[in-house]
Amino acid sequence: MATRRAFLRGVAAAAAGAALLRRAGAAESAAQPNIVLILADDIGYGDLGCYGAPEVKTPNLDRLAREGVRCTDAHAPASVCSPTRYALLTGRYAWRSERGDHILDGDAPLVIEPGRPTIPSVLKGAGYATGLVGKWHLGLGTPESPVDYNGEVKPGPLEVGFDEAFYMPATGDRVPCVYVENHRVAGLDPADPIRIDYKNPVGDEPTGTSHPELLKIKADPQHSKAIVNGISRIGYMAGGHAARWVDEDLADVFAARAAAFIEKHKSAPFYLQFCPHDIHEPMVPHPRFRGTSGCGWRGDVIHQLDAAVGRVLDTLDRLGLAENTLVVFSSDNGGAIKDTYDDGTNELHAKQPPNAPWRGQKGQLFEGGHRVPLLARWPGRIRAGGECAHLLGLVDMMTVFADAAGLETLPDDAGPDSFDVLPALARPELKRLYRDHLVVQAYNKKMLSLRRGPWKLIAPEGKKPELYNLQDDPGEERDLAKKMPDKVAEMTAELDKIKAAGRTRP
């Protein structure tokens, strides 16, 4: 209980601090822009038409690029999901945190620390309504009070600054396979309580290992536990049958909720964090999208994602909100090449490499693991059809959104690694350097890389470092570490200094 009270005190303090730091003479809330962040899952740099995808069509995302700016050197803070989401929400590298530096299961506690300022808590202090729709994957409950899916599901999104939340707890391939609305599992029958376990079977329901004949798609051993909707998952689950989602409907359900949030808050400034499940595995497109891409189910779910983005854009248009709304689209990491489900991933890779032209994939420190598409549209503030080559990261979004909302600066404890790159998005032709370096992690805090200018150091603990010059060698084919030991030593020392300092934002 004390831990939960600490969360509430922290959120209140952050909101109050943000309100105090509002720009002097700023316009009233009616003039503040709405902010919509669309964070796709596992979309690679080469997956979108506006980034050169040769096969799969993405007209709505291409429209966003035409009407805004397309970034070519934008990076997820990590090459896997949970650490990216932590860094995005807090403006703090996840490798600095105690528990937020790795992929979380559905029974993990909330990894955002009590009192830690977040994008929604800061914007809430500036008068915004804040909402989360889609994937969460930052833990629920506390170490002392584990999440109870049959009772109040907290602390979670509402305790870190969101007014409303409709979300999946972890990932589509992990139990529990249910929606949570605010503090309750949606549609749960109390007579059929949920039980989950990531080590041992619960109940007597079949698994993917014991009954592969029940599966719609085959999976590897890790993903062959509980069967929900004919698809096996990571972890075991029993009960909660009335609340279980249908994978084919996930995209439509989340898109409808996102549109409803916009409709509900059309008269006041709002922050919507819309996190579609697509295109994370298992990739199970709705029947109306199957076969539409000619590139297997992976191509089909890209079509499905694009349609969800279109629904959000259409809602803004219909309500007359588009002109005063900053829309940002990006991905939590690069595309996955390894196929853990027989869901058509390899079919698409043969025609359209997801991370082209970069080397690597999700989970790696090569560019393909973390260089992601980033599109931003804000009519009148961001020039249409621009291309931004500035170095920037999703960890910067806290400061970008605070600037857009009219905050002069952030509280000292907010966004310690978040730089204001909004001017780079608005005027990409400007030569000023807004961010001169960036740290990215892979699966955990022991796997880091440092980028400074054209130079990139890959420095996983216990392994030999690698050094690349991205200007001369964008494909990371020539490791210069042996030829340039002094440069390796210089960048290693800088990385150690960054790790010890606790912050990078001035």
**Do residues 177 and 233 make contact, with C-beta atoms less than 8 angstroms apart?**
yes
Q: What's the pLDDT at 27?
A: 37
d(CA 303, CA 352): 14
Task: Give first-to-last CA distance, the chain, whole Å.
Answer: 36
- Give 354's contacts (C-beta < 8 A, 6+ positions apart): 43, 44, 45, 46, 47, 334, 335, 336, 337, 348, 361, 368
Average pLDDT over residues 359-379: 98
Task: State yes or no: cis peptide before 176, omega within 30 of 0.
Answer: yes
Q: What's the pLDDT at 11?
A: 45
The CATH 3.40.720.10 domain(s) of the chain lie at: 2-189+246-391
Q: Is the pLDDT of residue 231 over 60?
A: yes
d(CA 166, CA 15): 22
Q: Is the pLDDT of residue 18 over 70?
A: no
pLDDT digits (tens, 9 = 90+) for 429-474: 998 999 999 999 999 999 999 999 999 999 999 999 999 999 999 9
Average pLDDT over residues 193-214: 97
Listed range (80-94, 201-215, 340-354) with the worst mean pLDDT: 340-354
Q: What's the pLDDT at 192?
A: 99
Average pLDDT over residues 406-417: 93
CATH number 3.40.50.300 is the correct assignment for the domain at 2-189+246-391:
no
Q: Enumerate the β-bridge partners of residue 376.
A: 69, 328
The CATH 3.30.1120.10 domain(s) of the chain lie at: 446-501
Q: What's the pLDDT at 28?
A: 40
Name the architecture of domain 446-501: 2-Layer Sandwich (3.30)
**Do residues 341 and 282 make contact, with C-beta atoms less than 8 angstroms apart?**
yes
Average pLDDT over residues 109-122: 98
Average pLDDT over residues 313-321: 99
Q: What's the pLDDT at 335?
A: 96
Mean pLDDT (the chain, rounded): 94
| C-alpha 401 chain-centroid distance | 16
Q: What's the pLDDT at 349?
A: 75
Q: Is the pLDDT of residue 122 over 90?
A: yes
Q: Is the pLDDT of residue 4 over 90?
A: no
- Collapse the DSSP code of 188 into the 3-class scheme (helix H, G, I; strand E, B; otherwise coil) and give the result: coil
d(CA 489, CA 78): 23
Q: What's the pLDDT at 320?
A: 98
| Residue 6: band (very low, low, confident or very high) from pLDDT cuts 50, 70, 90 | very low
Q: Which two tokens stand for residue 395?
A: 């960890």
Average pLDDT over residues 388-403: 98
Task: Tell me the CA distances in angstroms from 124 to 21, 117, 162, 324, one per residue in order.
Answer: 13, 11, 8, 18
pLDDT digits (tens, 9 = 90+) for 25-49: 333 444 899 999 999 999 999 999 9
Specify burial of residue 464 (Cβ count, 10 A radius: 0-12, 13-18, 19+): exposed
| Percent share of the chain, pLDDT over 90 | 89
Phi-psi region at 350: left, alpha or beta (left = phi > 0; alpha = psi -120 to 50)? alpha
Average pLDDT over residues 302-322: 99
pLDDT digits (tens, 9 = 90+) for 334-362: 999 877 998 867 767 778 899 999 999 99
Q: Is the pLDDT of residue 278 over 70?
A: yes
Q: Enumerate the β-bridge partners of residue 167.
A: 134, 180
